Amino acid sequence: MSAPLLEMTDLVKEYGGKDGVRAVDGVSLAVASGETLGLVGESGCGKSTLCRTVLRLERPTSGSIRFQGREIAELSPRAMRPLRRDLQMVFQDPYASLNPRRRVGPTVAMPLKLQGLADGSDPRGQVEGLLERVGLGAEHYDRYPHELSGGQRQRIGIARALALRPKLVLADEPVSKLDLSIQAQIVGLFAELQREMGLGCLFVSHDIGVVRHVSDRIAVMREGQIVEEGPAERVCEQPSHPYTQELLASVPVPDPRRARARRAE
């Protein structure tokens, strides 16, 4: 069996010194190439901190982070820069993650220019191709973020993350700020792009109902620790941990009778 694309071992991120709070407490997870690992848990359990630590936006307190077999937990910002091409993130808030004073085109083109992958001085053709790939059009190139809907802004965030053709994408609550109908579109887009590009993906959400539709495996996080992990179908159909059962019971169902029966059970 080939080595995982991303592997975390006993990862700890602590705030406040020796007796501080462990936002991430001994997490061990792995993501393979072409696989989507869903990370689910309630708000404040440490999911976003885990993503920022894996990307080395924050330095881990202890533990190991291996990307393509290379230890990156202690790399300096300068040493991390070449790896940014292969490690990308889609942020939770599709408006706050975009510069309101910068048009869509330059926003998506920026990573291409920073990594030296732009076609000449004007990569407009590359950017328009990325916009089409995420379901937008060339007409969005010259628009500002405030001229777009929430779903369109999140598609811009996805296009920016995919611009460098990364090997791993961390999606931190990418649909939590969107309406239900738009959530379904974005989840479908993620699944389509993941299959098309062979991406590894860590898909983070507090909604296990969303995660189960996009993930190959699911890890359940509570208070900084992984309490259950396994194939998505098994975790959702036969959960072994009481907390996972609570998460599944909180997913709304359209039939009131089924909802009452589930609460009773």
Question: Model confidence at 1, in pLDDT bands (50, 70, 90)?
Answer: very low
Q: What is the pLDDT of residue 254?
A: 66
173 within some domain: yes
Owning domain of residue 53: 1-86+169-177+194-265
29 closest CA partner among 240, 200, 252: 200
> Chain-wide mean pLDDT for the chain?
89
Structure tokens at 12: 């700890």
Among 63-67, 84-88, 90-94, 197-201, top mean pLDDT goes to 63-67
Domain stops at, among 144, 165, 186: 165
Answer whether residue 4 is part of any domain.
yes
What is the arithmetic mean of pLDDT over 9-29? Answer: 90
Are the C-beta atoms of residues 128 and 141 closer than 8 Å to each other? Answer: yes
- Kindly tell me if the per-residue pLDDT of 100 is higher than 80: yes
Q: What local confidence, expressed as pLDDT, does residue 87 receive?
A: 94
In a domain? residue 187: no
- 60 shares its domain with 124: no
Average of per-residue pLDDT across 47-66: 95
**What pTM did the predictor assign?**
0.89
Least confident of 113-122, 202-211, 220-229: 113-122
The one-letter amino acid code at 96 reads A
CATH number, residue 2 = 3.40.50.300
Residue 40 resides in a domain? yes
Residue 238 sits in the same domain as residue 199: yes
Q: Is residue 56 part of a domain?
A: yes
User: How confident is the model at residue 243, as a pLDDT?
Assistant: 94
| Average pLDDT score over residue span 179-196 | 83
Task: Say what the pLDDT of residue 200 is.
Answer: 92
| Residue 159, C-beta contacts closer than 8 angstroms, at least 6 positions apart | 108, 127, 130, 131, 133, 134, 136
Q: Does the pLDDT value for residue 119 go beyond 60?
A: yes
221 with 152, same domain? no
The tokens for 130 are: 């990325």
| pLDDT recorded at residue 255 | 64
Residues 79 and 173 in one domain: yes
Percentage of residues in the chain having pLDDT higher than 70: 95
Q: Are residues 173 and 263 in the same domain?
A: yes
pLDDT surpasses 80 at 152: yes
**For the chain, what is the domain count?**
2
Q: Domain check: are 173 and 243 in the same one?
A: yes
Residues 161 and 173 grouped into a single domain: no
Phi first, then psi: give them for residue 181, nearest 5 degrees: -65, -35
Residue 182 counted as domain residue: no
Same domain, 57 and 21: yes
Strands 21-31 and 6-15: antiparallel
Of 195 and 260, the structure prediction assigns the larger pLDDT to: 195
The model's confidence at residue 16, banded by pLDDT at 50, 70 and 90, is: confident
* Shared-domain flag, residues 116 and 205: no
In terms of domains, do 71 and 46 share one?
A: yes
Whether residue 2 is predicted with pLDDT greater than 70 in this model: the reply is no
Whether residue 119 sits in one domain with residue 48: no
Mean pLDDT score, 133-138: 91
Whether 186 is in a domain gets the answer: no
